[in-house]
Amino acid sequence: MILPGATLGVLGGGQLGRMFTIRARTLGYGVVVLDPDAGSPAGAMADRHLCAAYDDRAALEELARSCAAVTTEFENVPAGVLEQLAGHVPVSPPPHAVAIAQDRILEKRFLAEHGFPTAAWRPVLSAADLADAATLGAPAILKTSRFGYDGKGQISVERVEELATAQQRLRGVACVFERRLALECELSVVLARGRDGALVAFPPAENVHRGGILETSTIPARVPAQLAQSAAELAAAVATALDYVGVLGVELFVADGGRLYVNELAPRPHNSGHFTLDATATDQFEQQVRALCGLPLGSPVLLSPATMINLLGDAWVGGEPRWEEAFARPGVKLHLYGKREPRPGRKMGHLTCLAATADASFHLAHETLQALERR
Rounded distance between C-alpha atoms, residue 189 and residue 358, angstroms: 17
Do 289 and 319 belong to one domain? Answer: yes
Total domains in the fold of the chain: 3
Give yes or no: residues 204 and 298 share one domain.
yes
Element (H, E) at 196: none
Whether residue 135 sits in one domain with residue 76: no
Same-domain status, 328 and 262 = yes
Q: Could you tell me if 80 and 165 lie in one domain?
A: no
Are 122 and 129 in contact, with CB atoms under 8 Å apart? yes
Domain of residue 15, CATH code: 3.40.50.20
Write the CB contacts of 288 (distance below 8 Å, at least 6 apart in sequence): 20, 23, 71, 192, 246, 247, 268, 269
What is the domain-level CATH number for residue 146?
Answer: 3.30.1490.20
Nearest CA-CA partner of 4 in 325, 289, 349: 289
Q: For residue 250, what is the domain's CATH number?
A: 3.30.470.20
Instruction: Tell me: do 150 and 247 sit in the same domain.
Output: no
Residue 10 phi, psi dihedral angles, 5° rounding: -130, 125
Residue 373 exposed, middle or buried by CB count within 10 Å (0-12, 13-18, 19+): middle
35 and 136 within one domain: no
Domain span holding position 156: 120-179
Do the domain assignments include residue 260? yes
174 and 279 belong to one structural domain: no
Are 212 and 138 part of one and the same domain? no
* pLDDT value, residue 70: 97
Asked whether the beta carbons of 249 and 235 are under 8 A apart, the reply is no
DSSP state of 336: E
In a domain, 197, yes or no: yes
Pairing of strands 121-124, 175-179: antiparallel
113 part of a folded domain: no
Residues 225 and 315 in one domain: yes
In a domain, 114, yes or no: no
Among 147, 162, 179, residue at a domain's last position: 179
User: Do 235 and 144 have their domain in common?
Assistant: no
Residue 321 lies in a domain: yes
What whole-number distance in Å separates Cα of residue 163 and Cα of residue 157?
6
Does the residue 96 lie in any domain? no
**What pLDDT, on the 0 to 100 scale, is given for residue 148?**
67
Q: Are residues 203 and 347 in the same domain?
A: yes
Per-residue pLDDT of the chain (375 residues), as tens digits, is: 999 999 999 999 999 999 999 999 999 999 999 999 999 999 999 999 999 999 999 999 999 999 999 999 988 888 889 999 999 999 999 999 999 999 999 999 999 999 999 999 999 998 889 999 999 998 999 999 987 666 678 899 999 899 999 998 998 899 999 999 999 999 999 999 999 999 999 999 999 999 889 999 999 999 999 999 999 999 999 999 999 999 999 999 999 999 999 999 999 999 999 999 999 999 999 999 999 999 999 999 999 999 999 999 999 998 999 999 999 999 999 999 999 899 999 999 999 999 999 999 999 999 999 999 976
pLDDT recorded at residue 147: 75
Q: Distance of CA 328 to CAs 103, 322, 323, 347, Å?
A: 44, 11, 9, 23
Instruction: Quote the pLDDT of residue 152.
Output: 74
Task: Tell me whether residue 148 is in a domain.
Answer: yes
